[in-house]
Structure 1
Amino acid sequence: MFRSYVREAFVSAEEKFLQLTELLGSSEAGKMMLSEVESTINGEGRELLRLLLQGHVDDRGICDIGKSVVGSDGVVRSHKRIREREIKTLFGAVRIRRMGYSVRGADSLFPKDGFLNLPKISYSFCLQKLITEEAVRGSFEEGMKSIRRMTGITIPKRQAEKIVLSVSGDFHNFYEQKEYDMRNMHDCPLLILTMDGKGIAMRKESLRKETEKRAKANRHDMKRRLSPGEKKNSKRMAAVASVYLTDRFVRSPGDIIGELSGKTAGTGKKRPKPFEKRVWASAEHSFGTVVSEMFDEAVSKDPYREKEWVALVDGDRKQIIYLSREAEKHGVGITIICDFIHMLEYLWEAGGTFFTEYEKREEWVRERLAGVLRGKPGLTAGGMRRSATNRGLNQSERKAVDKCARYITTLASHMRYDEYLRKGYPIATGVIEGACRYLVKDRMGITGARWGLKGAEAVLKLRSLKVSGEFEDYWKFYERQEFSRNHYEKYAEPEFLMHIVT
């Protein structure tokens, strides 16, 4: 067979390739089913890829760059010695020979490690990325099983957890340096800020102090059995936030009621999509801290205050206070809107006080909803209370009515839905509730999972990047940061590594 010239470092890879082609062209292979051939190529081909990678790192030489190297600590390292290290990659383990520069009492420096941007640990960045993506997608156990099936490499769960924790470390730095293209934002007049909370089952040592106290107080409470999936006083609330731009969506109260009843298609207009949407969550930080982060993100999207700022909440008074304080701090006007769906749930519960028949209850709720949507929350709440009084209902019987009326009157200043609809503002928190589900619940709520605080925070950060469509950009940033920390900053004159930066 004709054999072309092959660089010495790649001879083993070429021999493996020839062995594989001979095998596939053999009479034995001619009797195989496609699945058998495919399985053979998958196994043998992975070894071929490993040999190609091994050949490449060998071909790069040992990187002997002179008699000595000066570290950033000013210490001259003049003792030279060739050393090896092993790196596990997507294709298997490769061994890397490189020149080391050392001196007693100081860390050794390996220029080749810098040229290749090798990680500090024995897992390549590509493999770390796969580990991270699998851990963020589902449980650590299932994720590592999946990697073993794909690559043949066994990753201990504890090692995977350490990698995820390390990878998440540049989350805040990434957003601090991120710049948005303002040219893409001129057509979106509304800047939306929205937040909610979602509980995560935690280990005892990771609960907030208030929850831990309740857990201790109720430790011996055997009055009732917990329902399936319930975890009494074992959850820590994660603050979930989102900031995005969008266009106006002008509607009328009749459009909203028609959409809810299914009797009309609403306005017939296409609902505008969120633009430059960022979603994130934190179990470690307080709601107040996350609100502050929301405003920082909003400022980065609207630095010249050209947009109309709108905040959507579920009626939580603390959230409203945090938002109001932060708006005052930044000197920005903001419209805080209470989600009308939460208000509707209160109405539905109150309607059950007057009617047990579904149709009559629905009609009663629809009429009160119309009143609130038309800008009359106070009159609507007062009318409900009068109805309960006129029917002679006692305190217990009218409890749901008073609860609903109190909710509406307390938050009436954030329920000017007639005005919001005319301006094309959103009046429901669907975006953030969806985020609570797919960002937090779908991963953190896996059956039986109990989280430590650091691990939960790391997964939330990385899952946030995935949901926001920024994981790939983040990974590039993370690798650059690792290069700087592990290599560039270690040398007094690191210019020989500049090709990595550019």
Structure 2
Amino acid sequence: MVEPYDTGTTADCFVAAKKTFDCLIGQLTDPASASLTQDRLEEMLHEQGRELLRQLLQAHLDLRAWREQQSVLAARRDGTGLAGTDGVVRRRVEGGHHRLLATVVGTVTVTRCAWRAPGVPNVYPVDAALSLPAGRHSAGLAKLAVIETVRGSFDAAHAAINARCGSVIGKRQIEQLVAQAAVDVDAFYAAQILLPCTSSTVLALSVDAKGIAMRPEALRPATAKAAARARATFRTRLASGEKPARKRIATLGVVYDAEPAPRRPHDVIAVPGGRGGQRRPRARPRAERKWLCGSIITDPDAVIAKVFDRAEARDPAHARPWVVLVDGARHQLDLINAEAARHHISVHILIDFVHVLEKLWAAAWSLNPPAAPAAEDWVAIHALALLAGRTDQVVTALTAQATALPARRATASTPASAT
């Protein structure tokens, strides 16, 4: 039989939330609200609705605190104690211990009882029952901090969280929560059980490098010396060819599965003059079961080795086609070929088509008059030929055009990385 709740105490805990709700209803039914615009109504409901949710959460926590007090009184009468994880039984109970908890609806106060014994830390059963974090910020707020941070900068994440939740967290606390959330990434991937794949499923690998501006104290010795030697020509910006000498290369890697999705060249890029008719482009391949890694500390060869080791774990028998997508950097290609040789695997190396297009556009501006309308069609024709596998034909055509214009030959750039 379920014991009835103490309805009187429940009503006392929720009286503030009820008053806020009644006040909100009164504002919405007041004749003066008829003059409010939709955006003002929405703003009012968002602000006061969040406060109502905060008060409801606070009331529930207060109710749990009252019920704990009742159970503590019964424990005192029985003379029972509470054992902590250290095995020590604590028989003294002290109520009125408070801690603040920042949540997605605002900051609330958790009141609970402390079980005590000489020489050992207090035990708070409510903290375990609520699964409270060690710090001030709730798990929901930590999750929101991670979601917003991966979309952009910490400043942008801070602004987004404050707009949604109010002033509940600072920028430094967001940085700490994101760092805490990232500590178990490797364990998360290690615990994943991947679905089996057929021998036709493509095993795709990709690596890329990105220069990241570092704080002065985080620069490596050689880079710090180069930064100290740098002399800026202008006060407000760098001159042509000048480098700030304060970047470090971060290497990123990914491994994923993809079912083959054959496409035609015009499915990838529009033909000159644009697409016509009702025929839709074929669907592109979709990346599934992605595994990601990255490092700004280790060298690129270590990250590439980690990527190949992960791919090896997915296909130890080398029964699937391995495809490596890169941007064409020579040093990166050398490291990939060396790692493929170490694993005794034959890989198919693909150059990112976006980078190939940039090479074609560089050639277009060198071989065509500035802002020539025909340049776009010129690029499309050669890009379609590259997608059709006629790389040698494109290189030959570009070489012939560059030869016919000697004055511009030095600046013409053929898409050699597409070979």
Task: Tell me the TM-score range normalised by the shorter chain.
Answer: 0.7 to 0.9
| Closer, same or farther: CA 345–58 of 1 in aligned 2, 3 Å | closer
Q: Hey, what does 1:95 align to over in structure 2?
A: 109
Which string of whole-angstrom CA distances, capped at 9 and with x for unpartnered residues, describes residues 292-350 of structure 1? 33234434554654421100112212222332333344443321223455455445545
Q: Hey, what does 1:241 align to over in structure 2?
A: 253
How do 1:365-380 residues align onto structure 2 when only pairs under 5 Å count?
370=385, 374=389, 377=392
TM-score normalised by structure 2 residue count? 0.73
How do 1:42-53 residues align onto structure 2 when only pairs under 5 Å count?
42-53=46-57
Q: Hey, what does 2:17 align to over in structure 1?
A: 16
Partners in 2 of 1:145 and 1:364 — Cα distance? 42
| Closer, same or farther: CA 369–210 of 1 in aligned 2, 3 Å | farther
How do 1:173-184 residues align onto structure 2 when only pairs under 5 Å count?
173-182=187-196
Partners in 1 of 2:110 and 2:11 — Cα distance? 15
| Closer, same or farther: CA 37–14 of 1 in aligned 2, 3 Å | farther
Partners in 1 of 2:273 and 2:331 — Cα distance? 34
Which string of whole-angstrom CA distances, capped at 9 and with x for unpartnered residues, describes residues 50-89 of structure 1? 33323333444447685242434x6565554333222122
**Which structure's relative contact order is higher, taking Cα pairs within 8 Å and 6+ residues apart?**
1
**Structure 2 residue 208 is the aligned partner of structure 1 residue 196:** yes
- Alpha-carbon shift at residue 226 of structure 1 (Å): 1.8
Partners in 1 of 2:397 and 2:52 — Cα distance? 78
Answer yes or no: is the 8 Å Cα contact 2:158–2:171 preserved in 1. yes
Q: Hey, what does 1:156 align to over in structure 2?
A: 170
Give the alignment's Cα RMSD to 1 decimal. Answer: 4.4
Identity between Structure 1 and Structure 2 (%): 28
- Alpha-carbon shift at residue 174 of structure 1 (Å): 1.6
Partners in 2 of 1:94 and 1:257 — Cα distance? 53
Partners in 2 of 1:131 and 1:365 — Cα distance? 43
- Please, which of 203, 214, 217 is the counterpart of residue 229 of structure 2? 217
Runs of 5+ consecutive residues of structure 1 not aligned to the other structure: 416-502
Q: Hey, what does 1:443 align to over in structure 2?
A: none
| Closer, same or farther: CA 52–325 of 1 in aligned 2, 3 Å | same
Answer yes or no: is the 8 Å Cα contact 2:263–2:284 preserved in 1. no
Which string of whole-angstrom CA distances, capped at 9 and with x for unpartnered residues, describes residues 190-227 of structure 1? 12212222222221223355543432232x24289526
Partner SS state of residue 183, structure 2: helix
Partners in 1 of 2:82 and 2:63 — Cα distance? 23
| Closer, same or farther: CA 265–329 of 1 in aligned 2, 3 Å | farther
| Closer, same or farther: CA 171–299 of 1 in aligned 2, 3 Å | same
Partners in 2 of 1:171 and 1:146 — Cα distance? 25
Partners in 2 of 1:46 and 1:136 — Cα distance? 25
- Alpha-carbon shift at residue 120 of structure 1 (Å): 0.8
Q: Hey, what does 1:115 align to over in structure 2?
A: 129
Partners in 2 of 1:7 and 1:226 — Cα distance? 71
Which string of whole-angstrom CA distances, capped at 9 and with x for unpartnered residues, describes residues 132-170 of structure 1? 333333443444344334333342222222222222222
Residue identity matched to 2:61: V
Residue identity matched to 2:210: K
The number of residue pairs the alignment matches comes to: 395
| Closer, same or farther: CA 80–327 of 1 in aligned 2, 3 Å | farther
Answer yes or no: is the 8 Å Cα contact 1:12–1:51 preserved in 2. no
Residue identity matched to 2:54: R
- Please, which of 303, 319, 341 is the counterpart of residue 290 of structure 1? 303
- Please, which of 45, 57, 68 is the counterpart of residue 61 of structure 2? 57
- Please, which of 135, 148, 161 is the counterpart of residue 147 of structure 1? 161
| Closer, same or farther: CA 368–90 of 1 in aligned 2, 3 Å | closer
Partners in 2 of 1:26 and 1:361 — Cα distance? 60
Answer yes or no: is the 8 Å Cα contact 2:267–2:282 preserved in 1. no
Residue identity matched to 1:171: V
Partner SS state of residue 49, structure 1: helix
Partners in 1 of 2:243 and 2:367 — Cα distance? 34
How do 1:259-270 residues align onto structure 2 when only pairs under 5 Å count?
259=270, 261-262=272-273, 269-270=281-282
Residue identity matched to 1:202: M
Partners in 2 of 1:85 and 1:384 — Cα distance? 71
Q: Hey, what does 2:32 align to over in structure 1?
A: 31
**Structure 2 residue 314 is the aligned partner of structure 1 residue 310:** no
Answer yes or no: is the 8 Å Cα contact 1:71–1:77 preserved in 2. no
Structure (1 or 2) with the greater helix fraction? 1
- Alpha-carbon shift at residue 14 of structure 1 (Å): 4.4
Residue identity matched to 2:283: R
Answer yes or no: is the 8 Å Cα contact 1:131–1:160 preserved in 2. yes
Q: Hey, what does 2:83 align to over in structure 1?
A: 69
Partners in 2 of 1:162 and 1:55 — Cα distance? 29
TM-score normalised by structure 1 residue count? 0.63
Partners in 2 of 1:318 and 1:217 — Cα distance? 27
Answer yes or no: is the 8 Å Cα contact 1:247–1:272 preserved in 2. no
Partners in 1 of 2:401 and 2:23 — Cα distance? 89
- Alpha-carbon shift at residue 398 of structure 1 (Å): 4.6
Partner SS state of residue 179, structure 1: coil
Answer yes or no: is the 8 Å Cα contact 1:257–1:366 preserved in 2. no
Q: Hey, what does 1:454 align to over in structure 2?
A: none
**Structure 2 residue 339 is the aligned partner of structure 1 residue 338:** no
Which string of whole-angstrom CA distances, capped at 9 and with x for unpartnered residues, describes residues 111-130 of structure 1? 32112110111121112223
Partners in 1 of 2:81 and 2:19 — Cα distance? 42
How do 1:397-436 residues align onto structure 2 when only pairs under 5 Å count?
398-400=409-411, 404=414, 408=416, 415=419
| Closer, same or farther: CA 286–265 of 1 in aligned 2, 3 Å | farther
Partners in 1 of 2:108 and 2:234 — Cα distance? 60
| Closer, same or farther: CA 288–9 of 1 in aligned 2, 3 Å | farther
Answer yes or no: is the 8 Å Cα contact 1:10–1:55 preserved in 2. no
